[in-house]
Amino acid sequence: MATGYVYHELYGWHDTGTHAGLLPADPRRGLQPHRHFENAEAKRRVHELVVVSGLIDRLTRLRPRPASDEEILRVHTAAHLARLASGSDAGDGGSPFGPGGLDIARLAAGGVIAAAESVVDGEVDNAYALVRPPGHHALPDTGMGFCLLANIAIAVAAVRATRGVRRVAVVDIDVHHGNGTQAVFAADPDVLTVSVHQERVFPPDSGHRTERGEGAGFGSAVNVPLPPGTGNGGYAAAMARVVVPALERFAPDLVIVAAGYDAGATDPLARMMVTASGFRAIASSLIEAAGRLCAGRIVFAHEGGYDPVYVPFCAHAVIEALAGVTDPLPDPFSPNFDFLAGQDLQPHQEEAIAAAEALLADIP
């Protein structure tokens, strides 16, 4: 049993600055500069916890490489790549970046490619790519929502082009809608995109249950918008009743998870209340499904998550689940969050999940 792990110090050097769409700085209006929500801290602290806890010793370190033009252009337009290369548009779709930003974005996409290739090649059983910047909002011709390159879509395209992988399922548990991945593969019946997110947060007016894929790909996009306040019980029900059955119906050769932690109980950008044990349970249900459906081939690619204090424990729990750790690191915050009122499935959440169950029948 080997679990691959991708991290590179350059991921922490991607510079989102102190002034961007969501975070304007203007002293004349009383707006104090502050580091961007998508700063290095949460992800860097995940890596540090993985090292300090000793979990790193149970992982197989995989080396990320920069995604090539050829790999990027399978998903993005030449105009988008050229604009990122020029560095002139350092606010592309709400995704600021500093000098050398494209190089780091290439390394993030290449980190997910390396993880997927290692799993498909059987060098490791499964893998976690702790990359930055994130990718799931990026569209073929633009960055969006802190994302520059569509890391997961680029990795899906890579293993399909070079490894003959046919059917890939992308499960997006970031609290925001995985609109970019969905858009790239909307018309492709061989790529299933399932996004579980807080309803109507970001992108605005996106991720509705009625978005189901296009043309030959109809049914291959599944959206599970959940109401604010959903916790461990609601997420467990969404996994058991919609996401895992969707995977069973689709029968993928590989599963890739867009692993965001902004559905966490303390996240500043959303209003859900999943805890580290909740993330562990979500991950375990996906790992178990991949074990039954595709010889355990599953790759987690890190996306959002903005509380530097709690994200490390949530991601650590997921990586432990991947590595089959039986003596997990305790979550020191669990007494505060696991017993919050409303952690169990609520009737209005149940309604949303039941409505999404109706989508299963049309999965190709």
* Residues annotated as catalytic (active site), given as ranges: 137
Site for ligand 6DK in 324-363 (CB under 6 A): none
Contact between 320 and ligand 6DK (CB under 6 A)? no
Span from 101-109, 132-140, 163-171, 308-316 in contact with ligand 6DK (CB under 6 A): 132-140
Instruction: Show the site string, 287-306: x = touches Zn ion by CB under 5 A, - = not.
Output: -----------------x--
Report the C-alpha gap between 321 and 75 in whole angstroms.
Answer: 31
Neighbour-count burial of 256, counting CB atoms closer than 10 A to its CB (0-12 exposed, 13-18 middle, 19+ buried): buried
In the set 58, 137, 241, 297, which binds ligand 6DK (CB under 6 A)?
137
The alpha carbon of residue 186 and the mean position of all alpha carbons in its chain are separated, in whole angstroms, by 18
In the set 262, 267, 307, 320, which binds ligand 6DK (CB under 6 A)?
262
DSSP 8-state secondary structure symbol assigned to residue 190 = T
Site for ligand 6DK in 145-204 (CB under 6 A): 145-147, 174, 176, 202, 204
* Nearest CB to Zn ion, comparing residues 167 and 177: 177
Neighbour-count burial of 233, counting CB atoms closer than 10 A to its CB (0-12 exposed, 13-18 middle, 19+ buried): middle
Report the C-alpha gap between 180 and 195 in whole angstroms.
Answer: 11
Report the C-alpha gap between 151 and 148 in whole angstroms.
Answer: 9
* Nearest CB to ligand 6DK, comparing residues 24 and 122: 24
Neighbour-count burial of 287, counting CB atoms closer than 10 A to its CB (0-12 exposed, 13-18 middle, 19+ buried): buried
* Nearest CB to ligand 6DK, comparing residues 145 and 234: 145
Q: What is the CA radius of gyration of the chain?
A: 19
- What is the smallest separation between the CB atom of 350 and ligand 6DK, expressed in angstroms? 25
- What is the smallest separation between the CB atom of 5 and Zn ion, expressed in angstroms? 22
Q: Which residues pair with 171 in a beta bridge?
A: 194, 257
* Nearest CB to ligand 6DK, comparing residues 145 and 217: 145
Site for Zn ion in 194-253 (CB under 5 A): none
What are 358's two structure tokens?
């109706």
In the set 260, 264, 278, 312, which binds ligand 6DK (CB under 6 A)?
260
What are 17's two structure tokens?
């600055």
Contact between 92 and ligand 6DK (CB under 6 A)? no
Count of residues engaged in binding ligand 6DK, rule: CB under 6 A:
19
What are 167's two structure tokens?
């059917």
* Nearest CB to Zn ion, comparing residues 174 and 188: 174
Residue whose C-alpha is closest to residue 1's, from 119, 124, 129: 124
Span from 72-80, 142-150, 240-248, 354-362 in contact with ligand 6DK (CB under 6 A): 142-150
In the set 71, 174, 188, 307, which binds Zn ion (CB under 5 A)?
174
| Number of neighbouring beta carbons within 10 Å of residue 236 | 18
Q: Which residues contact 117 (CB under 8 A, 6 or more apart)?
A: 158, 159, 162, 163
* Nearest CB to Zn ion, comparing residues 101 and 134: 134
Residues 74, 80, 86, 88, Cα dihedral to 10°: -160
* Nearest CB to ligand 6DK, comparing residues 71 and 174: 174
**From Zn ion, ligand 6DK, none, interface partner of 235 (C-beta below 5 to 8 A by class):** none
**From Zn ion, ligand 6DK, none, interface partner of 136 (C-beta below 5 to 8 A by class):** ligand 6DK
- What is the smallest separation between the CB atom of 133 and Zn ion, expressed in angstroms? 12
Report the C-alpha gap between 116 and 59 in whole angstroms.
Answer: 15
- For every residue of 27-68, DSSP letters joined together read GGGTB-----SS-SHHHHHHHHHHHHTSGGGGEEEE---PPP
Where along the sequence are the contacts to Zn ion (CB under 5 A)? 174, 176, 260, 262, 304
